[in-house]
């Protein structure tokens, strides 16, 4: 045996309620799971033996929706989520600018312009005063909008007549803000084009090291479209085998032939049907409560969505697309329905990324089709608090209760996997599990077992990896997380648990 864990509280997740004391690992896989006495007898001269002293072992966590490149960029950027005003944002940018080598971009992430005192991004002029001569680009917390200083705006060189390039109401001149997906990602793409291959490679190692420290053994990386030549995807695929944890690539492209030529089994990710509720670009049937003349945006013609889904489905690929508003979700589910009717396939597991505001029809149809729902329990945990609900502000109380209806989906037989959408929220599966169990709005609360399944069993299923991952069973990969406490015994404290150790493919990749 290579590794033995003894005297633990092992929760295999294969059968509800089952517990074991010990397990043995050989050649990167689970060799046996049993009581401590039986496992201890398997010890050899070279076996590493760890006495867990009662600590809890779960299958390694799976984050089924995150963006590795932007997350890596964010780890070396100014963090802006705590800013309460434009002045606060500018102070954080100034500090980062002072540490940035000459000629390099200064990036800021997780800005919340709608929560700032001024209810807006800083202007180009305001950022110029603190940029120390650097080009600057800052991103909103949703990653669906951003802003640049003058030097950055000049380098981006965008057509200022495009919708989404904000103009000052008095002067008619650009403010530096990009308020649509198209303009924001064009601007961000130009800004990051200056990054070197070594810097991008470093992002992936940093992200995986961070994820390992949080108990994650598999990341579903939704990447591509950020660089004009998808250089990040090329780098990522070259180094995947060097990373300390497992990764699943969702290549965000509509180039079906390229994906087939690369030998990838899946395509898409955050290919956006619509945008974000916070930017009022998520597509709803009814107007926003706080913007009664706006229903959101559809970023593709419906016939183009149907054609892409049909062709990728016919090619045998698993498809992922982003849909948030109820109208956008309906459009995507209908596209999957039409593709399946035209070219029947078994067990496609196409993904509706986010699935935030499904209609009753969409839930029923999606479950019947066997669609997968990579969702983010932490979203409503953070943004739908009773006394300060961003959801209620945006869409009103009745529609707010319809957003992220975890219980309704589960009751219909749907399979939800958990993710962070990092960098929208931090990689933190314990917080995601805690959120599922302890939602501020009780209509969304799920049992501990279901919350754990979202980040283990279901995460494996969504990637068609349930034969290798997701439970602690003989023959499966030795992907494990050791926690200091048991989530079934202290459900109200899950977010405060400590990750003691993470094991991926039988290798210890993190020790506290």
Q: What is the pLDDT of residues 160-172, one digit of tens each?
A: 999 999 999 999 9
What is the rounded average pLDDT of the residues 182-187? 94
Residue 367: CB atoms within 10 A of its CB come to 17
pTM of the model: 0.95
pLDDT at 411 exceeding the cut of 90: yes
- Give Cα separations from 506 to 30, 31, 59, 248 (angstroms): 8, 10, 12, 18
CA dist., res. 11 & res. 27, Å (int): 22
> What confidence score (pLDDT) does residue 266 get?
98
CB neighbour burial string for 464-503, b if at least 16 within 10 angstroms, e if fewer? bbeeebbbbbeebbbbbbbbebbbbeebeebbebebbbbb
> What confidence score (pLDDT) does residue 102 get?
93
CA dist., res. 136 & res. 149, Å (int): 5
What is the rounded average pLDDT of the residues 465-483? 98
Cα(first)–Cα(last) distance of the chain, in Å?
Answer: 23
CA dist., res. 71 & res. 370, Å (int): 30
CA dist., res. 77 & res. 73, Å (int): 6
Binned at pLDDT 50, 70 and 90, residue 242 comes out as very high
Cβ–Cβ under 8 Å, residues 483 and 498: yes
pLDDT at 387 exceeding the cut of 90: no
Rounded to whole angstroms, the maximal C-alpha distance in the chain is: 79
> What are 331-385's pLDDT values in tens digits?
999 999 999 999 999 999 999 999 999 999 999 999 999 999 999 999 999 999 9
Cβ–Cβ under 8 Å, residues 353 and 222: yes
> What are 447-460's pLDDT values in tens digits?
999 999 999 999 99
Output the CA angle 478-480-485, nearest 5 degrees. 155
Binned at pLDDT 50, 70 and 90, residue 417 comes out as very high
Residue range 251-470 in CATH 3.20.20.140: yes
> What confidence score (pLDDT) does residue 419 get?
98
CA dist., res. 364 & res. 255, Å (int): 30
User: Residue 301 contacts by C-beta under 8 Å, 6 or more apart in sequence?
Assistant: none
What is the rounded average pLDDT of the residues 295-318? 98
Taking each helix axis from N to C end, the angle separating 231-239 and 68-75, rounded to the nearest 10 degrees, works out to 90
> What confidence score (pLDDT) does residue 25 get?
98
Which CATH architecture best describes the domain 85-192? Roll (3.10)
Query: Which contiguous run of DSSP H or E holds residue 66?
Result: strand 61-66
CA dist., res. 366 & res. 31, Å (int): 37
> What are 249-276's pLDDT values in tens digits?
999 999 999 999 999 999 999 999 999 9
> What confidence score (pLDDT) does residue 353 get?
98
> What confidence score (pLDDT) does residue 290 get?
96
CA dist., res. 176 & res. 277, Å (int): 21
Cβ–Cβ under 8 Å, residues 223 and 233: yes
> What confidence score (pLDDT) does residue 8 get?
98
Question: Whole-number mean pLDDT of the chain?
Answer: 97
The DSSP output letter for 484 is S
CA dist., res. 433 & res. 447, Å (int): 10
Which ranges in the chain are annotated with CATH 3.10.310.70?
85-192
What is the rounded average pLDDT of the residues 472-498? 98
Cβ–Cβ under 8 Å, residues 120 and 149: no
CA-nearest of 363, 365, 366, 403 to 383 is 403
Query: Which contiguous run of DSSP H or E holds residue 146?
Result: strand 146-148
Which ranges in the chain are annotated with CATH 3.20.20.140?
251-470
% pLDDT > 70, the chain: 100
3-state helix, strand, coil in the chain (%, to 5): 35, 25, 40
What is the rounded average pLDDT of the residues 206-229? 96
């Amino acid at each position: 045996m290579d590794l033995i864990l003894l005297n633990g509280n092992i929760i295999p997740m294969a059968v509800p309620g089952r517990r074991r004391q010990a397990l043995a690992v050989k050649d990167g896989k689970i060799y046996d799971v049993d009581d401590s006495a039986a496992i201890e007898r398997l010890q050899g001269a070279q076996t590493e033996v760890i006495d867990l002293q009662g600590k809890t072992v779960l299958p390694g966590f799976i984050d089924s929706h995150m963006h590795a490149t932007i997350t890596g960029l964010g780890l070396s950027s100014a963090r802006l989520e705590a800013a309460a005003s434009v002045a606060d944002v500018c102070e954080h940018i100034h500090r980062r600018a002072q540490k940035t080598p000459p000629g390099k971009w200064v990036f800021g992430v997780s800005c919340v312009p709608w929560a700032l005192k001024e209810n807006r991004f800083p202007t180009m002029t305001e950022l110029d005063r603190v940029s120390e001569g650097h080009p600057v680009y800052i991103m909103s917390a949703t990653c669906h909008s951003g802003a640049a200083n003058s030097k950055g705006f000049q380098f981006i060189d965008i057509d200022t007549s495009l919708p989404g390039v904000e103009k000052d109401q008095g002067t008619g001149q650009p403010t530096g803000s990009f308020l649509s997906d198209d303009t924001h990602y064009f601007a961000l793409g130009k800004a990051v084009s200056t990054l070197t291959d070594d810097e991008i490679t470093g992002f992936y190692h940093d992200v995986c090291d961070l994820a390992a420290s949080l108990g994650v053994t598999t990341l579903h990386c939704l990447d591509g479209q950020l660089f004009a030549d998808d250089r990040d995807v090329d780098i990522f695929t070259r180094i995947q085998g060097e990373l300390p944890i497992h990764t699943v690539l969702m290549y965000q492209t509509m180039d079906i032939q390229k994906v087939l030529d690369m030998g990838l089994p899946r395509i898409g990710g955050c290919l956006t049907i619509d945008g974000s509720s916070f930017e009022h670009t998520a597509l709803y049937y009814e107007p926003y409560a706080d913007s009664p003349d706006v229903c959101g945006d559809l970023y593709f013609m419906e016939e183009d969505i149907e054609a892409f889904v049909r062709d990728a489905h016919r090619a045998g690929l698993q498809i992922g697309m982003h849909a948030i508003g109820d109208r956008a979700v309906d459009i995507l589910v209908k596209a999957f329905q039409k593709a399946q009717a035209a070219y029947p396939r078994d067990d496609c597991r196409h993904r509706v990324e986010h699935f935030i505001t499904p209609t009753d029809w969409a839930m029923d149809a999606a479950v019947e089709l066997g669609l997968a729902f990579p969702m983010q329990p932490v979203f409503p945990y953070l943004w739908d608090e009773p006394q300060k609900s961003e959801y209620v502000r945006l869409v009103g109380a009745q529609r707010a209760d319809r957003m992220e209806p975890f219980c309704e989906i589960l009751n219909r037989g749907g399979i939800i996997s958990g993710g962070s959408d990092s960098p929208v929220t931090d990689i933190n599966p314990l917080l995601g599990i805690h959120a599922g169990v302890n939602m501020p709005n009780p209509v969304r609360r799920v049992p501990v077992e279901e919350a754990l399944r979202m980040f283990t069993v279901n995460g494996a299923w969504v990637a068609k990896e349930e034969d290798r991952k997701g439970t602690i069973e003989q023959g499966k990969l030795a992907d494990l997380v050791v926690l200091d406490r048991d989530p079934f015994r202290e459900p109200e404290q899950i977010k405060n648990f400590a990750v003691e150790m993470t094991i991926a493919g039988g290798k210890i990749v993190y020790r506290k």
